[in-house]
Amino acid sequence: MIKKILAGLMLILVVFAAAAAMQPDEFIVTRTASMAAPASSVFPYVNDFRKWEAWSPWAKMDPNAKNTFSGPEAGEGAYFKWEGNKDVGVGNMTITESRPNEHIRIRLVFEKPFPGVSDTLFSFKEQDGQTAVTWTMTGKNNFIGKAVSLVMNCDKMVGPQFEKGLASMKALAETPAA
């Protein structure tokens, strides 16, 4: 009887491992929002990490997070580190490329609750008095990431947060300056 239970457990583990191994090697989460503002009004909210607190959904999850900024105030080389509660964890971001009113690339490093590195791209496209802001995060799935993806969908977890952040950014960008 014990041998049958152990054999059954081994079979479940083998099937789970095989299913995990077949998951994609990379993940991507992307969302776009159109804003009634020029790219020059929207771009600074992303290019300066100190302005993220006004629109980032994660800043709202832990208003008491410890934030550290270094490097240039904005643009390439700007660095932001946070240490927060279980909802936001610990990590850092570095702007690796900043092309005014076109795009911003960010290297995103998670330390806790799970270590990982992702690339983030914000692109800004003006058309007909609107700016389409696209927020994309990509990364590699190691075996653990693939296993987790069997029970947790990254797009369904992170995508709604991107939507909230873009909606907050839209509200800021569309509000006339006082």
The predicted structure's pLDDT at residue 177: 60
**For the ranges 21-35, 56-70, 137-151, the one whose mean pLDDT is highest:** 56-70
Segment 118-147 shows an average pLDDT of 86
Segment 111-117 shows an average pLDDT of 86
Q: Where are the domains of the chain?
A: 25-174
pLDDT band at 144 (very low <50, low <70, confident <90, very high): low
The predicted structure's pLDDT at residue 158: 77
pLDDT band at 138 (very low <50, low <70, confident <90, very high): confident
Lateral strand order in the sheet of 116-127: 26-35, 130-140, 116-127, 103-112, 90-99, 79-83, 66-70
The predicted structure's pLDDT at residue 28: 78
Start-to-end CA span in the chain (Å): 76
Radius of gyration from C-alpha coordinates of the chain: 20
pLDDT at 178 over 60: no
Segment 36-64 shows an average pLDDT of 93
Identify the CATH class of 25-174: alpha beta
Segment 51-73 shows an average pLDDT of 93
**Mean pLDDT of the chain, nearest integer:** 87
